[in-house]
């Protein structure tokens, strides 16, 4: 079966997993992603859960997978249901992490064993010896993605899904209010920001409970087109951990907090926060969040430990 046929078959078998447009699936990742989908489907079968991928992409030479898992709208949000949801989210998070690691050690073209390549400061995705890129040849990074059919949209070489960037303090990406609004609208379209209802379903909470958490600074949201949106990364993590970290992010710079959540951090081995949390690095992430506030003069700087 060809790579394209494998992807078509995968989406046909699990259409509910591929609701979001422009999921970047490299040819060399298909087998691990297929195995991941099979495992997740087995966990969800006959359950009261909703699931779909938010992003599947390459970043800094490695595979990154983000997902949304929640209770069905018709299911009561009981304490038992929320506890079961938390356990299931943790289990699926571990399986996603394993798939990320496997994809990140495979050539993106053929799936043979390979390691990410460094070109100066840039880290490129893994390529085996046969598919190493040389000047004058097509860039495998641009030709390896396989189009995803149906409601999930399609991919072409160099699609937006591969190159999504969250604005950073070094490269804010906008200089005016209209550009800020455009950037946030793009983040909504690309699945980096989600509606309150989706986060509420994921956590088994009400939208009103999320609003109250915002007042307590346990959450933050961004306004786009007159509507409220939350960072999509929250949906794949424990509510309690998200609350604890946001409480350490002081002040009202919600855009800065969003950048903090999505960018990678050297303090957690070059991972983003969701990856670090899946590896149990909660205390280290809390330290990074407090340091973020200290740098902005929002809390007193701690004395060095003796």
Q: Is 123 part of a structural domain of the chain?
A: yes
Higher model confidence: residue 243 or residue 22? 243
Q: Are residues 185 and 129 in the same domain?
A: no
- The arithmetic mean of pLDDT across residues 31-48, rounded, is 88
- The arithmetic mean of pLDDT across residues 63-81, rounded, is 81
Lowest mean pLDDT among 114-118, 149-153, 204-208, 261-265: 149-153
Q: Is 302 part of a structural domain of the chain?
A: no
Q: Is 60 part of a structural domain of the chain?
A: yes
CA-closest candidate to residue 21, choices 222, 170, 161: 161
DSSP state of 106: B
Phi, psi of 125 (to 5 degrees): -65, 160
Degrees, nearest 5: CA angle 138-143-149: 160
Higher model confidence: residue 305 or residue 300? 300
Q: Are residues 102 and 55 in the same domain?
A: yes
Question: Does the pTM exceed 0.85?
Answer: no
Q: Are residues 139 and 194 in the same domain?
A: no
Q: Are residues 208 and 107 in the same domain?
A: no
Q: Is the pLDDT of residue 251 over 80?
A: yes
Instruction: Using the 3D structure, point to which of 86, 118, 152 is the last residue of a domain.
Output: 152
Reading the block at residue 2, the tokens are 């060809």
Is the Cβ–Cβ distance between 184 and 222 less than 8 Å? Answer: yes
Q: How far apart are the first and last CA of the chain?
A: 62
Longest alpha-carbon distance in the chain? 62
How many domains in the chain? 2
Q: Are residues 144 and 224 in the same domain?
A: no
- The arithmetic mean of pLDDT across residues 265-272, rounded, is 77
Q: Is 201 part of a structural domain of the chain?
A: yes
How far is Cα 247 from Cα 267, in angstroms, rounded to an integer? 19
Q: Are residues 23 and 122 in the same domain?
A: yes
Q: Is 169 part of a structural domain of the chain?
A: no
At 202-217, the pLDDT tens digits run 999 999 999 999 999 9
Q: Are residues 217 and 267 in the same domain?
A: yes
Q: Is 47 part of a structural domain of the chain?
A: yes
Q: Are residues 148 and 183 in the same domain?
A: no
Q: Is the pLDDT of residue 257 over 80?
A: yes
Lowest mean pLDDT among 52-56, 113-117, 134-138, 149-153: 149-153
Q: Is 301 part of a structural domain of the chain?
A: no
Is the Cβ–Cβ distance between 249 and 260 less than 8 Å? Answer: yes
Is the Cβ–Cβ distance between 65 and 53 less than 8 Å? Answer: yes
Q: Name the residue range of residue 68's domain.
A: 3-152
Q: Are residues 29 and 144 in the same domain?
A: yes
Q: Is 244 part of a structural domain of the chain?
A: yes
CA-closest candidate to residue 126, choices 80, 60, 69, 49: 60
């Amino acid at each position: 079966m060809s790579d394209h046929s494998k992807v078509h078959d995968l989406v046909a078998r699990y259409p509910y997993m591929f609701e979001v447009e422009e999921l970047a699936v490299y040819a060399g990742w298909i087998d691990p992603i297929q195995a991941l989908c099979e495992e997740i489907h087995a966990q969800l079968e006959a359950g009261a859960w909703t699931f779909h991928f938010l992003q599947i992409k390459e970043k800094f030479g490695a595979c990154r997978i983000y997902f949304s898992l929640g209770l069905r709208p018709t299911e009561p949000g009981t304490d038992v249901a929320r506890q079961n949801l938390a356990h299931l989210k943790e289990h699926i998070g571990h399986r996603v992490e394993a798939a990320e690691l496997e994809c990140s050690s495979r050539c993106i073209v053929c799936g043979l064993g390979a390691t990410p390549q460094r070109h100066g400061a840039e880290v490129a995705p893994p390529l085996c010896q046969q598919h190493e890129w040389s000047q004058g040849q097509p860039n495998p990074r641009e030709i390896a993605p396989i189009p995803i059919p149906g409601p999930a949209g399609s991919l072409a070489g160099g699609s937006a899904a591969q190159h999504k960037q969250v604005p950073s303090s070094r490269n804010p990406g906008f200089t005016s209010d209209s550009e800020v609004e455009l950037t946030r609208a793009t983040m909504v379209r690309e699945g980096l920001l989600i509606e309150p209802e989706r986060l509420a379903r994921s956590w088994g909470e009400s939208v009103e409970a999320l609003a109250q958490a915002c007042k307590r600074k346990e959450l933050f949201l961004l306004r786009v087109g007159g509507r409220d949106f939350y960072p999509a990364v929250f949906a794949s993590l424990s509510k309690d951990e998200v609350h604890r970290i946001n409480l350490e992010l002081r002040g009202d710079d919600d855009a800065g907090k969003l950048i903090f959540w999505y960018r990678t951090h050297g303090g957690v081995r070059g991972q983003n926060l969701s990856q670090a949390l899946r590896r149990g690095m909660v205390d280290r992430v809390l330290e990074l969040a407090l340091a973020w506030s200290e740098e902005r003069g929002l809390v007193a700087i701690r004395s060095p430990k003796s």
